[in-house]
Amino acid sequence: MEKNYFSRGFTFYGGLFFLVFSFSGLAQVGIGNTDPKSSLDVSGAISLREGPALVLANNDNEDIDLGPTVFSIYRITGPTNNFNIQSFNTPIGVSASDGQMLTLDNTTSYKMTIVHDSGSAGELQRRIFCPNGEDLELEGENTVVTLQYNILLQRWIVNGSTDVGGYGKNVNSKVGVSDISTNSSTAEDMADMEIVFTPKHETIFVNFSASGTMDKGDAMNAQAYANFELVKNGVTMAGATTLASDRGYIPVETTSSSTPYDCREMFYDSGGPTSNYGHNEDDTHSFLPSNPGERISVEFITFNVENGWDGLMIYDGPTTSSPIISSGFIPESYHPRPAGAWTGTGAFSPAGRVFTSTHSSGALTFRFLSDSSLTYFGWEACVTSGTEPPNPCREMFYDRGGAAGQYPNNDIFTKLYSPTNPGEKVTVRFMGFDTEEGWDGLMIYDGPNASSPIISSGSTSGRPTCPDGAWSGTGSYSAAGKSFTSTVPGGQLYFEFRSDGYIQRSGWMACVNSIIPVPLDCREIFYDSGGENGQYQNYENITYNFLPTNAGEKVSVEFLSFNTEQGWDGLMVYDGSNTSAPVISSGSTYGRTNCPNGAWTGTEAYSAEEKIFTSSAPGGELTFVFRSDVSNTRPGWKACVNSVTVYNLDTAWNSSFVMYPVEVIPGEETTIKIQWSRDSSDGQADVLRNNVTSEAERSHRSLTIFD
């Protein structure tokens, strides 16, 4: 038998030649790209080779040529605007070798977008798969993306990225470090509020916030406006104005008849205790308990917002994700407010209600939303924190339907409340009220029975189930938010409700107490012509003038109740000794002879109830003119007149721009700064101050740019 013999040396070298030839001709040189896979132990660093720069164009780039040899790293140059990467044209395999790694470094300041599964029609293997099937946008100079080729998917796969230009990662801030002031009526730079930087995006967002005080002018209640301008490269981009007015402080005792419990703090709408809230508001407030184990309770003393269009959402917890405490409001299709919002002055008003947290945190959260028209006086609420919620009611008074139901048709329901102890008086405060207006009415009598004097709403329906003077509906004749206190020697109040045979409503909820009334601390009581229990007349045109008791004092008038025919019978208030003095306006715009613009009228937004008017005239006088038309009279008003000493106090102001967008040019040096000025409305030499170091007048100012 013939045998062939090969030497051991020939066998070794022949095998080595075959191995090297196979790697050189069939695969990229490396570890882990042949089967069976192998691994490499490295003591030190591995260097990946960089290929020639890829010169790309603006907008779309497809079938990008990576050259005859595919390198691991490529720098991108060329674009002078934002650009897109769609696909690659590589010479190896169908597009690239399985596992091929590719890193791209964007050396420009423009946005690089990796486009998902697009480009190279008929050559799908050249495309890119992005995470979640969405284009990957990377902003900023030296943004890096790494891709890896997958032979099974026949696509490049995004393996990782770094976005050094993402919003919020390029932040510039300045904080005021010195006390500053201005009395200039022209805009001037606000110290420390200037930032010079090079943006990476086409749009930046600017936050500015500042607060301070205004020195009082020589006159009482001097007013000035603090103006702020956002300036880019010398051009004003936006402005903000806030009213800074000296407050008149009146050291007189409260005329409230009772205070059920102390407040940790008062909770007002953005207009505070004296002004309306603003347009297009979206404000959130969360109240947390003072100590562990306690719970927040909030009692609404007053509430008046545009019904159905402006609303307050209440959440049982620390955020707006907490459970809603619903009013039961169901919006019509044209109403923008969410279901459950507290709104208006009727059935969905929280006036007189107490809300106590049941959440484990003990917190309550409030979110207020307003639209672009008609702002009202908002609300005043008392916030407390304790282990037990406040309970200011001796008992609750409901219609026959109870807390959750509706009263029945053809109902006749009477209720007598007597005081708990001799010498006390019954007081009933209606937290909610909703009956069929003009048909289902509640009569209230100041005494023990229906023969006692009527406490009238001024209604004139004249129906058996809704007599003249009945409280009815959710509008001008609603009892919602109103308190009634007996004035008779026995201290009783008597209620009689009647409904007709059609249409039921939710009725009412009221809080009943027995109190010892505190006498009003008034120099005199100011009524309309109908007096305490009557109504004013038609065709009235009456002027009332009040003078201070002593030289240097000012007249102050607080309206305890107010009810006139809305839009037709109006009370004008003048800050001085006659009708030539400035008008203290309600903001009404009826423009009628008997109800001119600025008149106080009705029981809603333009009502004078719970308002205090204090003279700022040199002589301290106030003048009132009331006119009524030919029909429909009402109970009018009751007001407390005093002569007081007024002390001027400096007032606080605050202003801000919140995430204000500004268009810029990426890569171009940009200057953003804040300027401010003072615009006096009364001719006084008022000075706006921003003191950030003084402990006595601590304020702040800061400017932040998010790029």
Task: List the CATH number of the domain containing 322.
Answer: 2.60.120.290
Say if residue 573 is in the same domain as residue 643. yes
Say if residue 589 is in the same domain as residue 693. no
Has residue 27 been placed in a domain?
no
Q: How far apart are CA 108 and CA 143, in angstroms?
A: 9
The answer, yes or no, to whether residue 684 has pLDDT greater than 50, is: no
Average pLDDT over residues 65-70: 83
For the chain, how many residues are written?
A: 707
Say if residue 508 is in the same domain as residue 536. no
Say if residue 401 is in the same domain as residue 511. yes
* Closest residue by Cα to residue 590 from 629, 533, 558, 636: 629
Q: How far apart are CA 27 and CA 17, in angstroms?
A: 15
Residue 117 or residue 20, greater confidence: 117
Has residue 12 been placed in a domain?
no
pLDDT of 338: 81
Domain's final residue, options 336, 369, 386? 386
Q: Strand order of the sheet with strand 670-680? A: 188-197, 670-680, 223-232, 235-245
Domain count, the chain: 5
pLDDT of 139: 77
pLDDT of 610: 82
* Closest residue by Cα to residue 498 from 530, 464, 469: 464
Average pLDDT over residues 183-206: 86
Question: Which of 151-155, 232-236, 476-480, 647-651 is the most confident on average?
Answer: 232-236
Residue 431 or residue 256, greater confidence: 431
Bridge pairing between strands 235-245 and 223-232: antiparallel
Say if residue 562 is in the same domain as residue 456. no
Tens of pLDDT, residue by residue over 491-537, are: 999 999 999 999 999 899 888 988 877 666 788 999 999 888 789 99
Q: How far apart are CA 602 and CA 121, in angstroms?
A: 72
Mean confidence (pLDDT) of the chain: 81
Q: Which two tokens stand for residue 215?
A: 């020195």
pLDDT band at 1 (very low <50, low <70, confident <90, very high): very low
Q: How far is CA 671 from the centre of its chain?
A: 30
Question: Which of 5-9, 44-48, 232-236, 349-353 is the most confident on average?
Answer: 232-236
Average pLDDT over residues 177-203: 86
Residue written as tokens 């495309």?
127
Q: Are 579 and 625 in contact (CB under 8 A)?
A: yes
How much of the chain, in percent, has pLDDT values that exceed 90? 34
Q: Which two tokens stand for residue 273?
A: 């205790």
Alpha carbon distances (Å) from 367 to 20, 93, 281, 340, 347: 73, 61, 10, 12, 19
Has residue 260 been placed in a domain?
no
Say if residue 496 is in the same domain as residue 528. no
The number of beta carbons lying within 10 Å of the beta carbon of residue 38 is 10
pLDDT of 335: 64
The number of beta carbons lying within 10 Å of the beta carbon of residue 352 is 24
Helix (H, G, I), strand (E, B), or coil: what is residue 599?
A: coil
- The strand pairing partners of 298, in sequence order, are 355, 383
End-to-end alpha-carbon separation of the chain, Å?
Answer: 87
pLDDT band at 683 (very low <50, low <70, confident <90, very high): very low
The answer, yes or no, to whether residue 371 has pLDDT greater than 90, is: no
Q: How far apart are CA 672 and CA 685, in angstroms?
A: 30
pLDDT band at 206 (very low <50, low <70, confident <90, very high): confident
* Closest residue by Cα to residue 505 from 388, 640, 409: 409
* Closest residue by Cα to residue 350 from 384, 332, 325, 323: 325
pLDDT of 689: 79
Name the least confident of 267-276, 406-415, 470-479, 669-678: 267-276
pLDDT band at 407 (very low <50, low <70, confident <90, very high): very high
The number of beta carbons lying within 10 Å of the beta carbon of residue 408 is 12
The answer, yes or no, to whether residue 13 has pLDDT greater than 50, is: no
What backbone torsions phi and psi does residue 9 show, to the nearest 5 degrees?
A: -65, -40
Has residue 39 been placed in a domain?
no
pLDDT of 77: 94
The number of beta carbons lying within 10 Å of the beta carbon of residue 196 is 10
280: left (phi over 0), alpha (psi -120 to 50) or beta: left
pLDDT band at 165 (very low <50, low <70, confident <90, very high): low
* Closest residue by Cα to residue 675 from 117, 199, 194, 310: 194
What backbone torsions phi and psi does residue 89 show, to the nearest 5 degrees?
A: -115, 100
Q: How far apart are CA 687 and CA 334, in angstroms?
A: 46
Q: How far apart are CA 410 and CA 404, in angstroms?
A: 19
Question: Which of 13-27, 511-525, 582-596 is the most confident on average?
Answer: 582-596
CA dihedral over 412, 416, 417, 420, signed as positive or negative: negative
pLDDT of 8: 38
Q: DSSP states of 554-577 as a string?
A: EEEEEEEEEE--TTTSEEEEESSS
Residue written as tokens 């509906």?
473
Q: How far apart are CA 343 and CA 310, in angstroms?
A: 6
Q: Are 479 and 455 in contact (CB under 8 A)?
A: no
Q: How far is CA 272 from the centre of its chain?
A: 14
Q: How far apart are CA 690 and CA 241, in angstroms?
A: 15
Omega before residue 36 within 30° of 0, cis = yes
Tens of pLDDT, residue by residue over 298-332, are: 988 878 888 888 999 999 998 999 999 988 787 77
Average pLDDT over residues 28-50: 56
What backbone torsions phi and psi does residue 514 show, to the nearest 5 degrees?
A: -120, 120
The answer, yes or no, to whether residue 217 has pLDDT greater than 80, is: no
The answer, yes or no, to whether residue 650 has pLDDT greater than 60, is: no
Question: Which of 63-67, 142-146, 337-341, 671-675 is the most confident on average?
Answer: 671-675
Has residue 2 been placed in a domain?
no
Burial class (CB in 10 A: 0-12, 13-18, 19+), 675: buried
Cβ within 8 Å of residue 287, ≥6 positions away: 267, 296, 298, 363, 364, 365, 366, 383, 385
pLDDT of 390: 55
Q: What is the pTM of this model?
A: 0.40
- The strand pairing partners of 155, in sequence order, are 150
Say if residue 557 is in the same domain as residue 620. yes
How much of the chain, in percent, has pLDDT values that exceed 70? 81
Q: How far is CA 609 from the centre of its chain?
A: 26
Q: How far apart are CA 300 and CA 387, in angstroms?
A: 20
CA dihedral over 512, 518, 521, 525, signed as positive or negative: positive
Name the least confident of 386-395, 458-467, 668-677: 386-395
Say if residue 644 is in the same domain as residue 663. no
Name the least confident of 83-92, 665-674, 676-685: 676-685
pLDDT of 95: 54
The number of beta carbons lying within 10 Å of the beta carbon of residue 571 is 26
Q: What angle do CA 669, 670, 676 make, to 5 degrees?
A: 155
Tens of pLDDT, residue by residue over 249-299, are: 334 333 333 333 457 888 999 888 777 888 888 888 899 888 888 889 898
Has residue 25 been placed in a domain?
no
* Closest residue by Cα to residue 419 from 406, 411, 428: 428
Burial class (CB in 10 A: 0-12, 13-18, 19+), 59: exposed
Q: Which two tokens stand for residue 645?
A: 């000493």
Q: Are 445 and 471 in contact (CB under 8 A)?
A: no
Domain's final residue, options 162, 195, 214? 162
Burial class (CB in 10 A: 0-12, 13-18, 19+), 366: buried
Average pLDDT over residues 346-360: 81
The answer, yes or no, to whether residue 37 has pLDDT greater than 50, is: no
CA dihedral over 212, 218, 220, 224, signed as positive or negative: negative
Tens of pLDDT, residue by residue over 172-183, are: 888 888 888 888
Has residue 257 been placed in a domain?
no
Helix (H, G, I), strand (E, B), or coil: what is residue 10?
A: helix
Using the 8-state DSSP alphabet, how is residue 106 labeled? Answer: E
The answer, yes or no, to whether residue 221 has pLDDT greater than 60, is: no
pLDDT of 348: 82
Q: How far apart are CA 386 and CA 267, in angstroms?
A: 17
Q: Percentages helix, strand, coil for the chain, rounded to the nearest 5? A: 5, 40, 55
Has residue 58 been placed in a domain?
yes
Say if residue 485 is in the same domain as residue 551. no
Range of the domain at 221: 171-246+650-706
Name the least confident of 12-16, 613-617, 639-643: 12-16
Name the least confident of 145-149, 249-253, 341-345, 578-582: 249-253
- For residue 691, give the CATH number of its domain: 2.60.120.760
Q: How far apart are CA 123 and CA 116, in angstroms?
A: 14
Q: Are 608 and 654 in contact (CB under 8 A)?
A: no
Q: Are 559 and 611 in contact (CB under 8 A)?
A: yes
Q: Which helix (H) or strand (E) holds 22?
A: helix 8-26
pLDDT of 687: 72
Residue 668 or residue 678, greater confidence: 668
Name the least confident of 249-258, 454-463, 585-594: 249-258
pLDDT of 85: 95
Say if residue 634 is in the same domain as residue 529. yes
Tens of pLDDT, residue by residue over 135-163, are: 888 877 888 999 998 888 889 999 888 76
Helix (H, G, I), strand (E, B), or coil: what is residue 8?
A: helix
Say if residue 644 is in the same domain as residue 675. no
Residue 11 or residue 433, greater confidence: 433
pLDDT band at 385 (very low <50, low <70, confident <90, very high): confident
Name the least confident of 266-270, 517-521, 682-686, 692-696: 682-686
Q: Which two tokens stand for residue 32?
A: 């882990």
Q: How far apart are CA 258 and CA 425, in angstroms?
A: 11
Domain's final residue, options 450, 480, 515? 515
Question: Which of 178-182, 210-214, 219-223, 583-587 is the most confident on average?
Answer: 583-587
Say if residue 412 is in the same domain as residue 508. yes
pLDDT of 6: 38
